[in-house]
Amino acid sequence: MGAKVFIDGEAGTTGLQIRARLDARDDITLIQLPDDLRKDAGARRDAFAQADVAILCLPDEAARESVALAQDLDVRFIDASTAHRVDPNWVFGLPELGADQRAAIQAARFVSNPGCYSTGAILMLAPLVAAGLLPVDWAVSINAVSGYSGGGKALIGEYQGGSAPAHFVYATGQQHKHLPEIMARTGLTRQPIFVPSVGNFEQGMAVQIPLHLSDLPGAPNMKDLHAALAAHYAGGRFVSVQDLADQESRIIPTALNDTNRAEISVRGDAATGRVVLIAVLDNLGKGASGAAVQNLNLMIGADEGAALS
């Protein structure tokens, strides 16, 4: 029969994509509720009781309520919301974060999925901080563009209905909900400036971090940054670092759609040390549903890449 999985909130964008990735697997049995019982606390508790792993695809407060509803049961959790990403009792579900992260996810009862923007930012920043190339108190700026699917039903409706702009910048008040996890999981002690935006495409994402290398302690060069990133992700299945020789090809946010992959580039002018780190990923793949399935695979002892590309 394999592992029994309950997706609490499977009717949302992330939940539907997780379900699509799991439907055809013979090592997983999906526990599902009829539409009229999806918000019924008793029916949901019964579903939690049957499950080995529950994946929460809910708003933050609803995710907390689900954990409270079922935490006395013998069920493990993957939370796709922001609710538990900096909670010390939850393991951060980014297997590529460090040498021990994969094992921690495998053993955990509580796993918190990373956010989409923060996945790109952490993948670039954490190895550089760990290598001593980027001080923890550095004034980091992060710019990003995402497809509109990350904005939920209302924003999706605006774009699909033709009433949304071609592109817009938001969260300029520097209170974006991904900032705490970026700081917590990279070790940064100074809050970055983060400027996210949304483009008129459904899914895909590019995250950019500009740096003046001559201002950094020791004045590292582009090769130093590339080497640190390449070493960290060497042999990795889902995160790769692009050839340093490629400085001119276009960065396309939709290039990795429908995959669980992320690609990191180090671009810039070696002579002046003006550099931009860029991560491309699918905000609904490695940034959401793909990450949840990768974590699920680790937790149930399946092949880490099962149902992922």
Looking at the annotation, which residues are catalytic?
116
| Residues linked to residue 265 through DSSP beta bridges, in sequence order | 278
Contact by Cβ (8 Å): 169, 196: yes
Burial of 58 (0-12, 13-18, 19+ CB in 10 A): buried
Contact by Cβ (8 Å): 276, 210: yes
Q: What's the rounded Cα separation, in Å, for the pair 258 and 285?
A: 6
Q: What's the rounded Cα separation, in Å, for the pair 3 and 301?
A: 10
Q: What's the rounded Cα separation, in Å, for the pair 8 and 15?
A: 8
Q: 138-174: string of b/e by CB count within 10 Å (b at 16+)?
A: bebebbbbbbbbbbeeeebeebeeeebeeeeeeeeee
Q: What's the rounded Cα separation, in Å, for the pair 226 and 266?
A: 6
Q: What's the rounded Cα separation, in Å, for the pair 50 and 58?
A: 19
Closest-CA residue to 229 (of 124, 133, 141, 130):
124
Contact by Cβ (8 Å): 201, 234: no
Closest-CA residue to 192 (of 206, 211, 164):
211
